[in-house]
Amino acid sequence: MQNIKTIKTNEEWRKLLTPIQYNILREAGTDRPFSGKLWNNKEKGTYSCVACGNQLFSSKAKFDSGTGWPSLFAPLSEESVLIKPIPSGIDGSEVLCASCEGHHGHVFTDGPLPTGLRFCMNDSILKFQK
């Protein structure tokens, strides 16, 4: 299954998103750790992109990394997210929504089995559905 691309101008994104959501999704900002309501969520459901609704992760992949951000060991599907290497600065790769290409966080190689990955996502730009 291939995602349909969501394309908007910066002005359109600014009207659609809150200032913090815009900062994270369009300018690669970040939430403060432990500041959101989803990092400690233990309910069963699906995490989607708040900007375009693309389903990104299942709660079945969520785990407590102790970092204060929602952490998951695998995306819902390989088509859900884009992984973009970072040239310098952070020891990991950037995670983008495959539909709107908004920044969601980073993926690191210090996660649990079965993947060994830790998708460290920003709380403010995730929508949770039970």
Q: Of 49, 52, 97, 120, which one is the catalytic site residue?
A: 120
Contact residues for 65 (Cβ-Cβ < 8 A; gap 6+): 71, 111, 118, 120
Output the DSSP codes for 47-73.
EEETTT--EEEEGGGEE--SSSS-EES
Note if 97 is an active site residue: no
Which residue type is seen at 61?
A
CA-nearest of 100, 82, 80 to 7 is 100
Active-site positions read 120
